[in-house]
């Protein structure tokens, strides 16, 4: 049985990666299982300079999901290169550096540094709803996506994934803009902007007032968007948004994802990514499928 | 180091209209437990987030948890039956209460649901005195346990229905002026922690505070449970309650 998938020329030993920001740099979950079990690890979103992040509370529970407003707290790209890459390289898994900026210049600068470091893939986050400047602002208009992706493409030779925001009217427009500007792969979806209010205090639960929604509740939205994007572009897709079981992963692959990322599900069950992988294997066995790639995009739409 | 253990409930008792006392069969977690640490419990299939609850005691393969019903998750826990199992992640927190090798007792200051972790902490010390604050008489929990674990116990209630009326400050000050303590260890609402910190400063003794924050992963990966601290050089940053805490040296807190 073949579990390996190819994303922009990089072979992942299985189609399960972690979703940026839910997995830190892997140290904590490595206490639960060997990180080599995973196809890849998308690390916490990195910026040029260290970022403190937003004030707490940074999380609120929602029906079958959560809102977060972490705001890209991270030690900065240099420290990541010095301290975290050597750690992650001890494992037989691919490193996906998730990078963000608040200006085009920022994005170019961090992309250049990250592109010259020992990572396997770059994931350009143009979809973070939790930072005031940049983030999602870049990812919601095709023109600015084109401009940014072109400039970043020009300075990196590593495979470039562009991470899309679901907070748009037509995600295929954005996907096409990323494809025509030189993206090698797309990942989707980032979190959906949401809000929760404490009815006793009449205050939003998040100190940031709003935050990004993720977890099982967003799964059908993610599946829909992945299928729309799959039909609009030729690039390989990393699907994410509410994946918690092997069957979820299969569904997302049928919609068009070549690989899936597991994020919020780790909070419920630290073993979630490994269980998702095992669930994929079970499905393949039960259905006599030899190659996981045979699933990709195989949904049969109604006329 | 954290693990998940499927634990059977071996006792569940109601302590007050809203407080519950739960004993779990937890051979692995009870071995790992340190004073000030907590566990994080899955509350049914419909809730994404686990609920953090402090370790109130760890004895002979069991964990004792004392919790107040605040919302859906803790209500779910309160409705379990003896023999049911819970998926428990633990033991969590690298910042724990120190166990002091000192002939002077520690002074424990706790309030409301901040009292439970201080019981395990009291038992680990050579000697402990405690001042506990509660809303009213009905909200008092663990009185007998603290009475047995501490040389001195004083209780204050906001409405004066039991013990001293008002906050813990006056009784704590009284004890601090009569006795010499090695440290103040505190867990409770923010105003109480601040009071504990300023009393410690006033009497010139070290102080540790246990912080609370909403959590995601519970193990240090998601950076959700931020709490502002400063380092030796006064530089401010966000530490994380689940991993760096929940107990922090008071001098590092930024309010
Ligand atoms: C380190 C630590 C130790 C704790 N120890 C105890 C204890 O020993 N006994 C006890 O009764 N309570 C304790 N708490 C508080 C307890 O975690 C909350 O009361 C509980 O999570 C509320 O869940 P709920 O579903 O009933 O409430 P809801 O309000 O419905 O919860 C919604 C969400 O907010 C979170 N949340 C709400 N209030 C708090 C809070 N005060 N702290 C952290 N998260 C919160 C919940 O975990 C959940 O994710 C502790 C909290 C922390 C951080
Ligand atoms: C706490 C938290 C932090 C996140 N941080 C980032 C980040 O730094 N960069 C990024 O591109 N996405 C970030 N995300 C989005 C996830 O990578 C993912 O796209 C989203 O959560 C949907 O997947 P899930 O439902 O499996 O979590 C974060 C999500 C969460 C819950
Ligand atoms: S809850 Fe994830 S870092 Fe503390």
pLDDT digits (tens, 9 = 90+) for B192-247: 999 999 999 999 999 999 999 999 999 999 999 999 999 889 899 999 999 999 99
Tens digit of each residue's pLDDT (9 = 90 or more) over A170-213: 999 999 999 999 999 999 999 999 999 999 999 999 999 999 99
Type and span of the H or E element at A178: helix A171-180
| Nearest by Cα to B92 from B19, B4, B214, B207 | B4
**In order of start, what are the domains of chain B with their CATH numbers?**
3-92 (2.40.30.10), 97-209 (3.40.50.80), 211-255 (2.10.240.10)
Q: What is the DSSP letter of A166?
A: S
Calculate how close chain A gets to B163, using CA atoms only, in Å: 30
Q: Is residue A271 part of a domain?
A: yes
Residue A171 belongs to some domain of the structure: yes
Take atom 39 of ligand 1 and give the residue whose Cα is closest: B214
Within 8 A of B225 by CB-CB distance, chain A residues are: 56, 58-59
* Residue A119 forms part of a structural domain: yes
- A216 to A138, A171, B253: CA distances (angstroms): 26, 20, 36
Full domain range(s) for residue A142: 5-295
- In a domain? residue A113: yes
Q: From A3, A4, A12, A38, select the one nearest A23 (Cα to Cα).
A: A38
Q: Is the CB of A41 within 6 Å of ligand 2? A: no
Does A303 reside within a domain? Answer: no
Overall domain count for chain A: 1
Question: What does the pLDDT read at residue B211?
Answer: 97
Question: For residue A107, what is the domain's CATH number?
Answer: 3.20.20.70
| A96 pLDDT above the threshold of 90 | yes
Pocket lining: B211 vs ligand 3, CB cutoff 6 Å: no
The pLDDT score that the predictor gives to residue B165 is: 94
pLDDT, position B27:
98
Residues of chain B with pLDDT > 70, as a percent, come to: 100
Backbone φ and ψ of A75, nearest 5°: -80, 0
Average pLDDT, stretch A236-242? 98
| Test mutation, A49, A131, A262, A267, chain B, max B CBs within 10 A | A267
Q: Name the residue among B49, B71, B58, B50 with its Cα closest to residue B117.
A: B58
Flag if B214 and A23 touch (Cβ within 8 Å): no
Spatial distance between the Cα atoms of A70 and B55, rounded to a whole number of angstroms: 27
Q: Which among B2, B48, B220 has CB closest to A64?
A: B48
Q: Which residues have CB under 6 Å of ligand 1? A: A 61; B 38, 49, 51-54, 66-68, 70-74, 113, 116, 212-214, 246
Spatial distance between the Cα atoms of A255 and A227, rounded to a whole number of angstroms: 5
Inside any domain, residue A60: yes
User: Within a 10 A sphere around the Cβ of B201, how many other Cβ atoms?
Assistant: 13
A-chain CB neighbours of B219 within 8 Å are 28-29, 31, 270
Q: Mean pLDDT for chain B?
A: 96
Handedness of CA B91, B93, B97, B99 (dihedral sign): positive
ipTM entry: 0.95
Which of chain A's residues have a Cβ under 8 Å away from the Cβ of B45? none
* A302 in a structural domain: no
Which residues of chain B does A268 touch, with a Cβ-Cβ cutoff of 8 Å?
42, 48-50
What's residue A133's pLDDT?
61
Q: Is A241 in the pocket of ligand 2 (CB under 6 A)?
A: yes
What is the model's pTM? 0.96
- Which residues of A are designated catalytic? 128
In which band, very low, low, confident or very high, does the pLDDT at A127 lie, cut at 50, 70 and 90? Answer: confident
Cα(B51) to ligand 1 centroid in Å equals 6
Strand order in the sheet with A210-214: A59-62, A65-68, A210-214, A192-195
Question: Which atom of ligand 3 is found nearest the CA of B240?
Answer: 4
For residue A280, being part of any structural domain is answered with yes
Q: Is A173 helix (H, G, I), strand (E, B) or coil?
A: helix
Question: Three-class SS of residue B15?
Answer: coil
**pLDDT band per the 50, 70, 90 thresholds, residue A134:** low
Distance from Cα A121 to the centre of ligand 2, integer Å: 17
Chain A residue with CA closest to B5: the answer is: A269
CA nearest to A45 within chain B: B222
User: CA-to-CA distance for B203 and B178, rounded, in angstroms?
Assistant: 11
Of B151, B25, B177, the residue nearest B86 (C-alpha) = B25
Q: What is the mean pLDDT of residues B69-92?
A: 98
Q: What is the pLDDT of residue A132?
A: 64
Interface contact A266-B224, CB threshold 8 A: no
A130: pLDDT strictly greater than 80 = no
Q: What average pLDDT score do residues B45-62 get?
A: 97
Residues in B lying within 8 Å of A, measured between beta carbons: 1-4, 42, 46-50, 87, 89, 213-228, 236-238, 243
% of chain A with per-residue pLDDT over 70: 98
Digit-coded pLDDT (tens) for A36-57: 999 999 999 999 999 999 999 9
Q: Assess whether the C-beta atom of A99 lies below 6 angstroms from ligand 2.
A: no
């Amino acid at each position: 049985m073949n579990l390996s998938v190819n994303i922009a020329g990089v072979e992942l030993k299985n189609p399960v990666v972690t979703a940026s920001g839910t997995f830190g740099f892997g140290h904590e979950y490595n206490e639960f299982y060997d990180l080599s079990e995973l196809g890849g690890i998308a690390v916490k979103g990195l910026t040029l300079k260290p970022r403190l992040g937003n004030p707490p509370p940074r999380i609120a529970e929602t029906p079958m999901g959560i809102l977060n407003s972490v705001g890209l707290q991270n030690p900065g790209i240099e420290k990541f290169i010095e301290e975290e890459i050597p750690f992650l390289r001890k494992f037989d898994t691919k490193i996906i550096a998730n990078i963000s900026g608040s200006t085009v210049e920022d994005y170019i600068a961090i992309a250049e540094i990250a592109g010259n470091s020992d990572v396997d893939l770059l994931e350009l986050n143009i979809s973070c709803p939790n930072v005031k400047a940049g983030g999602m602002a870049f990812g919601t208009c095709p023109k600015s996506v084109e401009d940014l992706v072109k400039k970043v493409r020009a300075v990196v030779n590593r495979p470039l994934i562009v991470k899309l925001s679901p907070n748009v009217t037509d995600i295929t427009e954005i996907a096409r803009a990323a494809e025509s500007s030189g993206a090698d792969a797309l990942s989707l979806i980032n979190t959906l902007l949401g809000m929760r209010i404490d009815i006793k205090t009449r205050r939003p639960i998040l100190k940031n007032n709003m935050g990004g929604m993720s977890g099982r509740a967003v799964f059908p939205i993610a599946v829909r968007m992945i299928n729309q994007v799959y039909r609009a572009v030729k690039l390989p897709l990393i699907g994410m948004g509410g994946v918690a079981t092997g069957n979820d992963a299969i569904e997302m692959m049928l919609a068009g994802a070549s690989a899936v990322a597991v994020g919020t599900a780790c909070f419920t069950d630290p073993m979630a990514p490994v269980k998702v992988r095992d669930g994929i294997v079970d499905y393949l066995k039960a259905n006599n499928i030899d190659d996981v790639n045979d699933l990709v995009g195989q949904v049969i739409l109604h006329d | 180091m954290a693990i998940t253990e499927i634990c059977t409930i071996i006792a569940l008792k109601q302590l007050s209209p809203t407080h519950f006392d739960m004993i779990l069969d937890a051979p692995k977690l009870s071995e790992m437990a340190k004073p000030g640490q907590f566990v994080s419990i899955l509350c049914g299939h419909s809730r994404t987030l686990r609920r953090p609850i402090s370790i109130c005691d760890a004895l002979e393969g069991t964990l004792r948890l004392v919790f107040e019903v605040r919302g859906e998750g803790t209500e779910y826990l309160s409705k379990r039956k003896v023999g049911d199992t819970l998926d428990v992640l633990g033991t969590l927190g690298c910042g724990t209460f120190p166990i002091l090798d000192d002939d002077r007792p520690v002074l424990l200051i706790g309030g409301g649901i901040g009292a439970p972790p201080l019981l395990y902490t009291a038992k680990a010390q050579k000697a402990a005195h405690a001042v506990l604050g509660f809303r009213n008489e009905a909200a008092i929990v663990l009185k007998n346990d603290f009475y047995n674990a501490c040389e001195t116990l004083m209780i204050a209630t906001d409405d004066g229905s039991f013990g001293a009326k008002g906050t813990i400050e006056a009784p704590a000050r009284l004890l601090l002026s009569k006795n010499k303590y090695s440290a103040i260890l505190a867990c409770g609402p923010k105003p109480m922690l601040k009071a504990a910190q300023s009393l410690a400063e006033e009497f010139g003794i070290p102080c540790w505070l246990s912080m609370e924050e909403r959590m995601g992963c519970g193990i240090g990966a998601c950076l959700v449970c931020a709490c502002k601290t400063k380092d030796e050089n006064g530089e401010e940053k966000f530490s994380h309650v689940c991993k760096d805490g929940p107990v922090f040296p008071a001098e590092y807190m930024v309010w």
